[in-house]
């Protein structure tokens, strides 16, 4: 059994804690949150230790590994502390909003053999993953074109937008990682356009965009397109489509339930899509924990590493520059 | 080129005439209708002869074959006349509402080698046909259970109901033929239940039913279930499903268009189903003509024959008796 | 918090235990199984008490309510013991395979106000439930015809079949309850046919059937059809369809994942259906616990009661007689 | 009745001729083709006049209007001749591959009131059109993002590619028009990327691309993305998706038939998509004729005019320049 402690008892941290508790080869070794009531509640419900400080958690011999689900600005620090404490870690994305901080963190931990897994959870979605597997199995032949549709059900509050780092670093970052995951090779060229349609004033205030299209090309000419919007009233729109010279694989959306209604004016009306990531990626979050436990148990490199986090951020930087300069940007220009 | 004349210039007759005119190996040799204006209009539009009498049509040397799309009570007579005139024929279903008249007709034409094709058009629907082909190709293994959903978009007018012969002879007759087509072997046992839910008073008046379920079993134990209703507000519901020991084949419904709508309260809302048989089975009607032309050209027996018409009627008789006597009826009891 | 203890630590019991542990308003108060290793394992993993006897469990003051997930022949006894101990209970279906034993149990507990909930879990499936809600909300108008497709992914082992009580009492029982749930009124007439197609020798040996169709009618003429098979290679086929005079509501199947594949020879190929009830009804099992906790907390009658268990069994008895006597059976004839 | 003559008796011309013959308010007034056998065959089959020259056709008083379905390089000339002869015309796209020739033609016919309709047939597809109607009816609110997936089932022969004018002018041209149709306002910015993945050598030889992504933005910030490929093994992939602030409308693909297959390894496997435009847009071609007849009868401007043909070509020019210069191009730069 792998004893995993969780830092951060917000909505995501709590879900991770429950998934760890349920996992057949893991135990929840305790929780920590700077906001004590959150940690107290979850510790009581799940019958585990509450650590009073992150330091105590990292120092505990009853903790084999850690899951970092705290606020973004703390990620890089906790990664460094977990490495120092030799605790394998699964850290929520992003490493940091600043490429400089990411590079500093990389330098600080360089040479470590402590496993670091980054929480690009969508890689573990059964549908998206099945697309990747279909490609790997040759089911669609040589990959030509990837289309990623990724739209939030609604605009986040202003406080969130203000701290988000902008749509490319906050939202598209998942799709940049998904593009890399599906393409199976590195992106060289990035072209982006952005509009302010959902909340024009707010976007102008923060020099941000709510509706974007990003086109990427790899050295061999494979293409990937991401369409993002901060507003999809019908639910959390999460689709991945891969075209190859032998066929196409598509990861389709998921609805709240599987009932359809048929009347005089319409047929097959279904429920809205699952509303947001906690529901939509519930299976993926559980599979992510499983992958982490597997990697640590087997002493293998985690499936998604520190460098994947950095590369997704690089693509965000390239998209920002492309949009600003109205031109295709080579990724080597940004880092 | 096969020169085919059409008897009956109502909605179905007109459609058949257009399909014959378009067919690459057939010509429309003329039309006839007891109601002259209908025949005059279609003859003018399609630039063909109008025959003043059915006799003239049957006698014409410019007519190689005939299509009978007149009212039901005339079918058996015209079949006999076409046989006498040695004109291969495609006759709309049913042969007659009376089993006695059907048997008399069979006797009258017995021994003839004039090709007689019966218009069970659904056998030519690409989807239903693909189910049959999948079974024949072994794609679902040994057939176990067939489910036929068949619902009219709305109740026909009282005048139609009054003359229809009842739901089993009028509406289920198509599904009885479909069951035989998909099962690939003869039905031995029939069990039926019927309700008056759509138009209780009207159904009581004509001792008819608007909502029925018919269960059939073959000698080898294969099962088929038909669910009929005279009212499906969402359109003409026409589905066929076949379960075998290796899988299932399903012929799905068809919509007016392929647009789906997704909003805050629903996803994937589609248009209603194609509303009735002229639209729903448009491709099937054209394929039926093609099958008839093929059979006549090649001197082969048509795909659907006189006996298929009789057997479907037998199942209707068995269903009527089952419903009346609240018991499973062996088909041999009725004919 | 409601402290619930679980009797039975097999696959279903374990799942229930995990769902209780996760529930925000319930605690897992301990487990019991006559097979000690199963109870020991789950008690250790979930950090709870293992009761050495059912008696100890029923007697414990730390147990507010019980969940009975033991083998079928013990259900009625445990129900009686739970009533005696005044512990509200959620009992897995069926109450018993014998109508006599069910009636004896009913007599033994008659007059009790201890809440008894029966585990007809499908009522809590989001899709099936949405069909019921759509009907209740008038979305499809007056209900006319219900179609329940219910097929197991594969034949159970002979040992299971031998003890099952036959397909109607073991498998169709769920569909009988679903028919009652969707119809919203009692069934009066039952007609059934049965075949031996999946495993003819085995079925003959146990005088059982593997492929059945059951048609039911209510006093007002509403119809319900159940098609069952012990073998659906494509997965656990679980669909419910309700036709009303204003439209149709359908609870569709669920697949293992949402990936579709498109190649030169086909499009939209999806994964097999979720394979069996633990996966297919995962959300339903969790919702069932929630409904039970709600009912006990609020002091309300559980949504599915003892009498629902008895009535489903009555329909099974009627189906058996119908099949044997080749006739429609009125439910009053069997109990 | 509107008497329409058809120039060009190839596959498209023949289909148009049959649609005219079937139309209730149109007559086929004759056909012409420089390749006489084609014209002879179709004239015989449909029982109409064959014109020996285009001049004779344009001069005939029995011809009220013309349909131009000849090879692309003749379009502009025939448009000018039809205008001179005062015959309303429906001309297949494109007007010409050269923007200069298009502009010369525009000048030559400037000021004419002879109706000119351009054959952007996809605007008449029931699904695509329903998307436009849903937008116009406010069903999805303010339009934000349009996604057009448009892929040919397979690479055209080299001879075709050599004369095609390149993918943007030949294939994407339809999607440029569709983008304008759906967006409902003019595109200002065009960004394109192109790859050679399907047939790298052939594409290099003709300085062409087989896999492209084009992103467009309007003055108000609305976005449209086109993904094109010359190779979609699963059939002719033709989808249009529109996201607005109240929802999404999608025009889905169409299959050869509606049968689905379900086995141990997969579910819901459907037939390939309709293979190419003659089948996929069969209803659209018929509706296009109807729209033309309507416009001429009512003396109204046709739904798709000469200027729509020119504007789609402009977008193709902008895409070419964007790809060459690796930057976003403003449409005003190219014309």
For C91-145, what is each residue's pLDDT tens digit? 999 999 999 999 999 999 999 999 999 999 999 999 999 999 999 999 999 999 9
By C-alpha distance, the chain C residue nearest B230 is C245
pLDDT of B1 > 90? The answer is no
Q: Are residues D267 and C260, on separate chains, in Cβ contact within 8 Å?
A: no
C-alpha–C-alpha distance, residues D288 and D290, integer Å? 5
Tell me the residues of A at the C interface, defined by beta carbons under 8 Å apart.
18, 21-22, 24, 45, 47, 126-127, 129-131, 134, 139-140, 246-254, 256-264, 271
DSSP string, B146-193: EEEEEE-SSPPPHHHHHHS--HIIIIIHHHHHHHHHHH-S-EEEEEEE
Query: C170 in a domain, yes or no?
Result: yes
CB contact under 8 A, D269 and C271: no
Q: Is residue A235 part of a domain?
A: yes
Question: How far, in Å, CA of A129 to CA of A132, rounded?
Answer: 5
Q: Are A223 and A145 in contact (CB under 8 A)?
A: yes
Closest to D43 in 3D by CA, of D90, D68, D7: D7
Q: How confident is the model at residue C238 (pLDDT cuts 50, 70, 90)?
A: very high
Percent of chain B with pLDDT over 70: 100
CB < 8 Å to B248, chain D: 261-263
Does the pLDDT at position B335 exceed 90? no
Q: Based on the domain organization, do B186 and B320 belong to the same domain?
A: yes
Of B45-54, B112-121, C150-159, minimum mean pLDDT range: B45-54
**Which chain D residues touch A if contact means CB-CB below 8 Å?**
142, 144-145, 147, 149, 151, 189, 191, 193, 195-198, 211, 213, 215, 217, 221-223, 225, 227, 229, 231-234, 237, 243, 245-248, 326-328
Chain B: nearest CA to C215, how far in angstroms? 8
Split at pLDDT 50, 70, 90, the class of B24 is: confident
Alpha-helical runs (H) found in B168-305:
173-183, 200-205, 277-280, 282-298
Domain endpoint, select from C49, C84, C114: C114
- Could you tell me if C191 and C328 lie in one domain? yes
Residue in the block written with tokens 């097959």:
A268
- Residue D157 CA from chain centroid, whole number: 20
pLDDT of residue C218: 98
Say whether both D70 and D135 belong to one domain.
no
**Residues of chain C positioned with their CB less than 8 A from the CB of B213:** 145, 215, 223, 225
CB nearest to A221's CB, from D189, D197, D328 = D197
**Closest chain D residue to B1, measured at CA:** D45
* Residue A60 belongs to some domain of the structure: yes
B291 burial via Cβ count (<10 Å: 0-12, 13-18, 19+) = middle
Contact A6, A31 (CB under 8 A): yes
pLDDT in tens, A217-250: 999 999 999 999 999 999 999 999 999 999 999 9
**Which of B197, B237, B245 is opposite residue C221, by nearest beta carbon?**
B197
DSSP-assigned letter for residue D226: E
Q: Which of A93, A114, A135 is the last residue of a domain?
A: A114
pLDDT tens, position by position, D95-111? 999 999 999 999 999 99
Out of B198, B245, B247, whose CB is closest to C245? B198
- Give the pLDDT band of residue B44 (cuts 50, 70, 90): confident
Question: Where residue B142 falls among pLDDT bands split at 50, 70, 90?
Answer: very high
Output the domain CATH number for residue B151.
Answer: 3.30.360.10
Q: Which of B47, B251, B261 sits opposite D134 (nearest CB)?
A: B261
Q: C108 and C130 share a domain?
A: no
In a domain, D287, yes or no: no
pLDDT value of residue A258:
96
Tell me the pLDDT of chain C averaged across its residues: 96
A interface with B, Cβ–Cβ < 8 A, is 233-235, 253, 255, 260-273
> From the list C235, C266, C272, which residue is nearest D271 (CB)?
C266
Q: Is the pLDDT of residue C46 over 90?
A: no
Q: Do A128 and A241 share a domain, yes or no? A: yes
C-beta of residue D288 within 8 angstroms of C-beta of residue D91 = no
CA angle C197, C201, C207 (to 5 degrees): 90
Mean pLDDT for the stretch of residues A285-294: 97
Residue A24 pLDDT grade (very low, low, confident, very high; cuts 50, 70, 90): confident
Between strands A211-218 and A187-195, the pairing is antiparallel
Q: Which of C255, C263, C264 sits opposite D267 (nearest CB)?
A: C255
Question: What are the residues whose beta carbons fall under 8 Å from the beta carbon of C20, sequence distance 6 or more?
Answer: C4, C6, C26, C27, C28, C67, C289
High-pLDDT (> 70) share of chain A, %: 100
Q: Strand, coil or helix: what is D124?
A: helix
Q: Are residues B139 and B258 in the same domain?
A: yes
- Give the separation between CA D90 and CA D14, rounded to whole angstroms: 14
Query: What's the residue count for chain B?
Result: 335
The per-residue pLDDT for D24 is: 86
pLDDT above 90: residue B286: yes
What's the mean pLDDT when you consider all of chain B? 96
Same structural domain for residues B76 and B194? Answer: no
User: Are residues C73 and C144 both part of a single domain?
Assistant: no
| Whole-angstrom distance, CA of residue C259 vs CA of residue C269 | 8
Asked whether residue C179 falls in the same domain as residue C219, the answer is yes
For residues A77-94, average pLDDT = 97
Q: Which residues of A touch C238 (CB under 8 A)?
A: none
DSSP A170: I
**Touching A: which chains, 3+ CB pairs < 8 A?**
B, C, D
How far is the alpha carbon of B279 from chain A, nearest alpha carbon, in Å?
17
Question: Is residue B318's pLDDT more than 90?
Answer: yes
| Number of neighbouring beta carbons within 10 Å of residue B22 | 16
Residue D301 domain-assigned?
A: no
Per CB-CB distance under 8 Å, the chain A contacts of B233 are 262-264
Q: What ipTM did this prediction achieve? A: 0.95
State whether D131 and D251 are in the same domain: yes
Domain boundary at A65, A97, A114, which?
A114
**Nearest CA distance, B62 vs chain D (angstrom):** 16
Element (H, E) at A75: helix A75-84
How far, in Å, CA of C203 to CA of A211, rounded?
A: 61
pLDDT value, residue A288: 98
Q: Which domain holds residue A238?
A: 123-277+312-334
Query: Quick one: B110 and B131 in the same domain?
Result: no
Q: Select from D131, D261, D264 the Cβ nearest to the Cβ of B259.
A: D131
Contact D60, D13 (CB under 8 A): no
Chain D residues with CB inside 8 Å of A248's CB? 232, 234, 237
For residue A282, being part of any structural domain is answered with: no
> CB distance C253–D269 less than 8 Å?
no
Interface C-D, measured as beta-carbon pairs within 8 A, has a size of 56
Segments of chain D with pLDDT less than 70: none
Q: Which residues pair with C145 in a beta bridge?
A: C223, C243
User: What CATH number is given to the structural domain containing B26?
Assistant: 3.40.50.720
Which residue of A lies nearest to B235 if distances are taken between CA atoms?
A264
Are A233 and D227 in contact (CB < 8 Å)? no
pLDDT value for A47: 83
The answer to whether C267 contacts D235, with C-beta atoms less than 8 Å apart, is yes
In chain A, residues with a C-beta closer than 8 Å to the C-beta of B154 are none
In A, which residues are within 8 Å of C247 by CB distance? 261-264
pLDDT confidence band for A50 (50 / 70 / 90) = very high
Chain B residues with beta carbon closer than 8 angstroms to that of D253: 258
* Res D175: pLDDT: 98
Percent of chain B with pLDDT over 90: 96
Tell me, yes or no, whether C73 lies in a domain: yes
Mean pLDDT of all residues in C253-257: 96
pLDDT at residue D45 in the model: 83
Kindly write down the DSSP assignment for every residue of D299-315, as one continuous string: TPPPSS-HHHHHHHHHH
pLDDT category of residue B208 using cuts at 50, 70 and 90? very high
Both D208 and D321 in one domain: the answer is yes
- Chosen for mutation from C258, C271, C275 (greatest number of chain A CBs closer than 10 Å) is C258
- Rg over alpha carbons for chain C, rounded to the nearest Å, is 20
Give the integer Cα–Cα distance in Å for B36 and C226.
Answer: 51
Distance CA A20, CA A39 (A): 16
Per-residue CA distances from D14 to A167, D22, D67, D79 (Å): 52, 12, 11, 20
The answer to whether the beta carbons of residues D79 and D68 sit under 8 Å apart is yes
Q: Tell me whether residue C187 is in a domain.
A: yes
| Total structural domains within chain A | 2
Q: Given CA atoms C5, C11, C14, C15 in this order, what sign does their dihedral have?
A: negative
């Amino acid at each position: 059994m792998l004893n995993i402690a969780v830092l951060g008892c917000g909505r995501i941290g709590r879900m991770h804690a429950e998934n760890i508790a349920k996992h057949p080869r893991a135990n929840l070794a305790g929780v920590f949150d700077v906001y004590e009531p959150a940690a107290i509640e979850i510790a009581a419900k799940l019958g585990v230790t509450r650590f009073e400080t992150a330091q105590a958690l990292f120092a505990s011999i009853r903790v084999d590994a850690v899951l970092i689900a705290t606020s973004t600005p703390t990620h890089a620090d906790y990664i460094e502390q977990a490495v120092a404490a030799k605790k394998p870690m699964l850290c929520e994305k992003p490493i940091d909003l600043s490429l400089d901080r990411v590079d500093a963190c990389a330098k600080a931990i360089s040479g470590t053999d402590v496993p670091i897994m980054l929480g690009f959870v969508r890689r573990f979605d059964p549908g998206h993953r099945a697309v990747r597997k279909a490609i790997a199995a040759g089911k669609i032949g040589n990959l030509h074109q990837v289309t990623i549709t990724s739209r939030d059900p609604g605009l986040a509050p202003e406080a969130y937008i203000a701290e988000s780092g902008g749509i490319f670093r906050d939202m598209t970052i998942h799709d940049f990682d998904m593009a890399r995951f599906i393409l199976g090779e590195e992106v060289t060229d990035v072209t982006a356009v952005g509009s302010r349609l959902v909340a024009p004033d707010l976007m102008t205030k923060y020099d941000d965009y709510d509706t974007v299209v990003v086109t990427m090309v790899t050295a061999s000419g494979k293409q990937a397109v991401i369409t993002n919007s901060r507003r999809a009233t019908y639910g959390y729109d999460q689709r991945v489509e891969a075209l190859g010279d032998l066929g196409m694989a598509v990861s389709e959306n998921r609805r709240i339930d599987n009932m359809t209604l048929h009347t005089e004016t319409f047929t097959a009306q279904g429920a809205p899509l699952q509303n947001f990531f906690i529901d939509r990626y519930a299976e993926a979050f559980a599979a992510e924990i499983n992958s982490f436990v597997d990697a640590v148990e087997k002493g293998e490199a985690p499936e998604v590493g520190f460098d994947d986090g950095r590369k997704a951020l690089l693509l965000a930087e390239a998209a920002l520059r492309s949009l600003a300069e109205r031109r295709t940007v080579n990724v080597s220009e940004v880092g």
